[in-house]
Chains A and B, each alone.
Chain A
Amino acid sequence: MTDFRMPSLGADMEEGTLVEWLKQPGDQLHRGDIIAVVETQKGAIEIEVFHDGVLEKTHANPGTRLPVGTLLATIRGEGEAPGPPLPSAAPAELPRAPSPPPPRAIAPQPSARRKITPAALRRAIGDGLDIATLTPGPDGIIGLRELAQAPAPPKRRTGGINLDEMRKAIAAAMARSKREIPHYYVSSTIDMTPMVDWLSAENARRPAPDRILSAVPVIKACALALRKVPGLNGHFIDGRYVADDSVKMGVGIALHGGGLIAPALDGSDTMSLGDIMQRLSDLVARVRGGRLRSSELTDATVTLSNLGDESADTVLPVIYPPQVAIIGVGQIVERPWVVNGALTARKLATFTVAGDHRANDGRIAARFLKVLGQVLQTPEAL
């Protein structure tokens, strides 16, 4: 039997609210299947399982807020004998009354000792309300009317992310980073003209929906340079650096109205530019409006913070633990530049590496920037 617990989806997560089970006891599970949805400070996240097996029993009910590590379910491995039949998550009991009033429908798995209608449950979770704090109506059930009497839910935005909660999550992760990680910074200005010119020629051949943003070759070039200069791609775990073979680039994506999430783009070093563009659009859409998967919140081996067009020249980013480096890049702007002794106008961008001195040194970051500069001079090879 394997315990399936409330996962930690990042350095900043302390608890999550179980929204729904997508698998039921008796269901066959395969590694990577989505078993449940959990509401976090970064919105609703689809939780994946890491083992093959059969869902034996669920231990938590939708609507409950649970600390990281809480037992959520038991999974029986392949070939294991089933345990004694156990009732899964307590079925809802209808209110008992001598002459019952027409009973309202109740959500199939209400929060422990709380009876709530399905509509109220959905809205309560969406509004970030803890069901334990709600007062039931005279019939002992929480409905939409009872919800309306609850204290005003915190500020929200479209896409279902609570910006106050997200700010707390960012604060927790960045405070931990600044407390624990001895940062150093190394920076270079790189001539982006070959990449920009190559990309406009490439995009001129592509219909509008297939065009590629300049962020995409930047992601790929960084990933390739990280492969050539090992030491910045991986995690700092139990007091030492553990390198990762592949580059899963965390890409900082801003939310309209504030806050940001940096989900992992796996295969950053192996996919074609067109494929990276598709993955990136999908991630942006799901960061802003839909659901990310748990692995996308936990798998990044390094992060790229791209300020984008019409922003600023330089960003000195803060490492997202347990990663050991973050790359910042500012806007691409035309500036005077010297080529072969002659002054000329070139399109430039400033790249900065923030590194974790417990894991690496500025020398490695400098080598990375040099290789990155070379990779970006031959964009057709990306």
Chain B
Amino acid sequence: MTPDQWSELVKRTLYQVAPDLEGQPIQPMVRFNEQFEFDSMDFLSFIAGLHRATGLELPEKDYPRLTTLESAVAYLTEKRPA
């Protein structure tokens, strides 16, 4: 998938975790925890959603790369290039 397609998928997964975010602007470089008041349960739901959508393992050691839209897109593009 292309970075744009990954970006769409990450946003869709975020909206599943927090439907109230739908339509709100997402700042690509600000961590989800900071911009959306995500707690550890929200973040884990986001990871589980990404796992279901992609089949990727997404181990805990990679979590730091999945905390912003921009870094998540870079990570996913790297794992599954276009």
Contact = CB atoms under 8 A, between A and B. Distances in A.
B30 interface: no
Contact of A308 (B36, B40, B57): B40
Interface in B41-69: 41, 44-45, 47-48, 50-52, 57-60
Contacts of A256: 18, 20, 36-37
A113 to B, nearest CB: 37
A208 B47 contact: yes
Contacts, number: 46
B39 interface: yes
Contacts of A207: 51, 57
Contacts of B58: 208
Contacts of A316: none
Given A158-B20, A208-B57, A213-B44, A254 B52 contact: no
Contact of B40 (A208, A209, A213): A213
Contact of B39 (A209, A211, A308): A308
A302 to B, nearest CB: 21
A208 B48 contact: yes
Nearest to B51: A208
Contact of B41 (A158, A204, A281, A310): A281
Given A213-B40, A284-B41, A308-B40, A204 B60 contact: yes
A297 interface: no
Interface in A243-296: 254, 256-257, 280-281, 284, 289
B19 interface: yes
Contact of A211 (B18, B20, B44, B52): B44
**What size tier do the contact residues of chain B reach?**
20 to 34
A281 B40 CA distance: 11
B62 to A, nearest CB: 11
A209 B20 contact: no
A280 B33 contact: no
Given A213-B40, A215-B40, A200 B48 contact: no
A203 B39 CA distance: 18
Interface of A: 157-158, 200, 203-204, 207-209, 211, 213-215, 254, 256-257, 280-281, 284, 289, 308-310
Given A157-B20, A158-B19, A211-B44, 11 more contacts: A158-B20, A204-B59, A207-B57, A208-B57, A211-B47, A213-B40, A256-B18, A256-B20, A257-B37, A309-B39, A309-B40
